[in-house]
């Protein structure tokens, strides 16, 4: 780590935090305009789910390749490239006049997303000491959730007043501008040469694969805790609320905000529990809480009152935020040289669930099901999170030597 001035460190932190907040804002924003897209392009919910599939499938499949590329290219350059791609994809979404362009635009966003988080971690790790690094990462993650909250009610009001295209064009343009600013910031306050040294070696596939019982825990856990909520909110939450509970888009966005507020709180609360009880039992608790919430939601999906729906959005969002415990689990059960690959595989599973859950919901509706009963698809997916959490050893183990 280079000894930089507080001004330099704050400049890097603020730049990274703003980029991450914008990324989260535009990541879930298309869910607010799902009704317009269904009407404009005259497609079924199952076909519209291709939009989410393009974004999250590209993201998921690139997690491991990005780990490999990160050994050979500076994290700063990859982070800037990711922000540019996110911005270009968001602008393209705002300009789309065909459904093919909509799907293509979200694929470009997914490509950019894949370059963001892992490289944010590397950029900050090269500048901040281990003693404060955890807090800095936590603050950046929090700005992402704050950005997602801005992508609910405030964005819904903006869309209501100006139409849906203008906000996406503005978000995309600002992301591209922030990418240019970040390049200047990273160039001005570059880390010391020793801090940027990259290890050119392959990924430890065989070593990680030999630990399959440990690996399935975080893979299935992340699938069940993160994927159902993210996939639902990103595509079908607004149509569900409008169709089943007869609320407008602005009101629907408040329910989404409740879920994302839960996500904002879930990370810190999960960290507190992990510090107090170790990583295994909090991970199991969150997985069970998440599955129970989805199952209750499935049972009363069509008749729950507003306060109960707000609570369920909050509880499932809380589990989504607490799914960051997945990375504490991989750190606890895998040696240092294997942690990146194990975390990448678990993250891949979470985003694959975010693809397949809305796809399954859309297929259910297309086959004659209704919006109320489609919640059961998320409930079934959440059960895999419980299975994964109980595949971890019951008693906390000493972290493997690196």
Read off the CATH number of the domain in which 178 is found.
1.20.1250.20
pLDDT at 171: 95
Least confident among 58-62, 197-201, 228-232, 296-300:
197-201
48 in any annotated domain: yes
In this prediction, residue 234 carries a pLDDT of 85
- Same domain for 10 and 59, yes or no, is yes
Whether residue 125 is contained in a domain is answered as: yes
> Over the stretch 74-90, which tens digit does the pLDDT of each residue have?
889 999 999 999 999 99
In a domain, 196, yes or no: no
Residue of higher predicted confidence among 255 and 269:
255
The burial class, CB within 10 Å (0-12 / 13-18 / 19+), for 294 is buried
In a domain, 197, yes or no: no
Per residue, the 3-state secondary structure of the chain, as one string, reads CCCCCHHHHHHHHHHHHHHHHHHHHHHHHHHHHHHHHHHHHCCCHHHHHHHHHHHHHHHHHHHHHHHHHCCCCCHHHHHHHHHHHHHHHHHHHHHCCCHHHHHHHHHHHHHHHHCCHHHHHHHHHCCCCHHHHHHHHHHHHHHHHHHHHHCCHHHHHHHHHHCCHHHHHHHHHHHHHHHHHHHHHHHHCCCCHHHHCCCCCCCCHHHHHCCHHHHHHHHHHHHHHHHHHHHHHHHCHHHHHHHHCCCCHHHHHHHHHHHHHHHHHHHHHHHHHHHHHCCHHHHHHHHHHHHHHHHHHHHCCCCCCHHHHHHHHHHHHHHHHHCCHHHHHHHHHCCHHHHHHHHHHHHHHHHHHHHHHHHHHHHHHHCCCCCCCCHHHHHHHHHHHHHHHHHCCCCCCCCCCC
Are both 213 and 159 inside the same structural domain?
no
In a shared domain, residues 73 and 11: yes
Residue 400 confidence class, pLDDT cut points 50, 70, 90: very low
Cβ–Cβ < 8 Å for 292, 201: no
Q: 51 or 205: which carries more pLDDT confidence?
A: 51
Residues 126 and 263 in one domain: no
Beta carbons within 8 Å of 278's beta carbon, 6+ residues apart? 332, 396
233 and 369 both lie in a single domain: yes
Establish if 286 belongs to a structural domain.
yes
Contact between 381 and 224 under an 8 Å Cβ cutoff? The reply is yes
d(CA 89, CA 76): 20
The answer to whether residues 185 and 223 belong to one domain is no
* Total number of domains constituting the chain: 2
The model's pTM is: 0.79
Q: Is residue 168 part of a domain?
A: yes
Q: Please compute the mean of the pLDDT values over residues 218-238 and round it to a whole number.
A: 92
Where among 144, 161, 190 does a domain terminate?
Answer: 190
State whether 186 and 210 are in the same domain: no
Q: Are residues 207 and 186 in the same domain?
A: no
Ranked by mean pLDDT, the top range of 58-72, 192-206, 247-261, 284-298 is 284-298
Query: What are 199's two structure tokens?
Result: 């290890």
For residue range 211-225, list pLDDT tens digits in order.
566 788 999 999 999
For all residues of the chain together, what is the average pLDDT? 85
Query: For 307-362, what is each residue's pLDDT tens digit?
Result: 999 999 999 999 998 888 887 788 777 776 677 777 788 888 998 999 899 999 98
pLDDT tops 70 at residue 12: yes
Torsion of CA 370, 372, 376, 381, to 10 degrees: 90
pLDDT at 182: 92
* Whether the predicted pLDDT of 201 surpasses 60: no
Quick one: 312 and 395 in the same domain?
Answer: yes
Confidence (pLDDT) at 293: 97
What mean pLDDT is predicted for residues 59-82? 84
**Long-range contacts of residues 389-394, Cβ cutoff 8 Å, at least 24 apart:** 389/217, 389/220, 389/221, 389/280, 389/283, 389/284, 389/286, 389/287, 389/288, 390/284, 391/213, 391/216, 391/217, 391/220, 392/214, 392/217, 392/221, 392/280, 392/283, 392/284, 392/329, 392/333, 393/280, 394/280
Same domain, 212 and 180: no
**Residue 195 lies inside a defined structural domain of this protein:** no
372 and 238 both lie in a single domain: yes
Domain range enclosing 299? 203-402
Stretch 54-69: mean pLDDT: 84
Q: Is residue 366 part of a domain?
A: yes
Domain co-membership, 100 together with 2: yes
The domain boundary, picked from 159, 190, 221, lies at: 190
Last residue of a domain, which of 157, 190, 223?
190
Q: How confident is the model at residue 399 (pLDDT cuts 50, 70, 90)?
A: very low
The gap from C-alpha 140 to its chain's centroid, in whole angstroms, comes to 13
């Amino acid at each position: 780590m280079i000894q930089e001035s507080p001004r330099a460190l704050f400049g890097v932190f603020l730049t990274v935090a703003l980029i991450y907040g914008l990324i989260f804002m535009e990541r879930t924003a298309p869910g607010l305009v799902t009704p317009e897209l269904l009407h404009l392009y005259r497609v079924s919910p199952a076909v519209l789910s291709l939009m989410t599939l393009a974004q999250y499938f590209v993201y998921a499949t690139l997690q491991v390749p990005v780990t490999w590329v990160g050994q050979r290219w500076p994290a700063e350059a990859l982070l800037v490239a990711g922000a540019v791609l996110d911005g270009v994809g968001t602008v393209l979404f705002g300009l789309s006049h065909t459904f093919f362009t909509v799907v293509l635009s979200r694929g470009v966003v997914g490509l950019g997303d894949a370059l963001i988080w892992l490289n944010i971690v590397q950029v900050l790790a090269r500048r901040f000491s281990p003693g404060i690094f955890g807090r800095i990462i936590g603050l950046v993650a929090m700005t992402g959730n704050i950005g997602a909250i801005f992508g609910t009610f405030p964005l819904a009001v903006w869309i209501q007043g100006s139409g849906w295209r203008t906000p996406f064009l503005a978000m995309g343009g600002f992301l591209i501008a922030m990418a240019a600013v970040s390049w200047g910031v990273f160039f001005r306050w570059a880390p010391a040469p020793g801090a940027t040294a990259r290890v050119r070696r392959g990924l430890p596939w065989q070593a990680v694969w030999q630990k399959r019982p440990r690996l399935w825990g975080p893979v299935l856990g992340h699938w069940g805790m993160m994927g159902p909520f993210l996939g639902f909110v990103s595509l079908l939450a607004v149509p569900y609320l409008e169709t089943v509970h007869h609320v407008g888009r602005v009101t629907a966005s408040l329910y989404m905000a409740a879920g994302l507020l839960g996500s904002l709180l879930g990370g810190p609360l999960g960290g507190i529990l992990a510090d107090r009880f170790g990583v295994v039992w909090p991970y199991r608790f969150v997985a069970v809480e998440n599955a129970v919430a989805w199952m209750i939601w499935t049972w009363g999906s069509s008749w729950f009152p507003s306060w109960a729906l707000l609570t369920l959005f909050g509880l499932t969002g809380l589990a989504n935020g607490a799914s960051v415990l997945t990375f504490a689990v991989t750190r606890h059960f895998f040696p240092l040289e294997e942690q990146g690959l194990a975390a990448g595989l678990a993250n891949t599973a979470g985003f694959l669930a975010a693809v397949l859950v809305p796809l399954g919901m859309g297929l259910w509706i297309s086959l004659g099901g209704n919006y109320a009963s489609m919640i059961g698809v998320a409930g079934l997916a959440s059960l895999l999170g419980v299975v994964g959490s109980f595949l971890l050893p019951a008693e906390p183990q000493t972290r493997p030597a690196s």
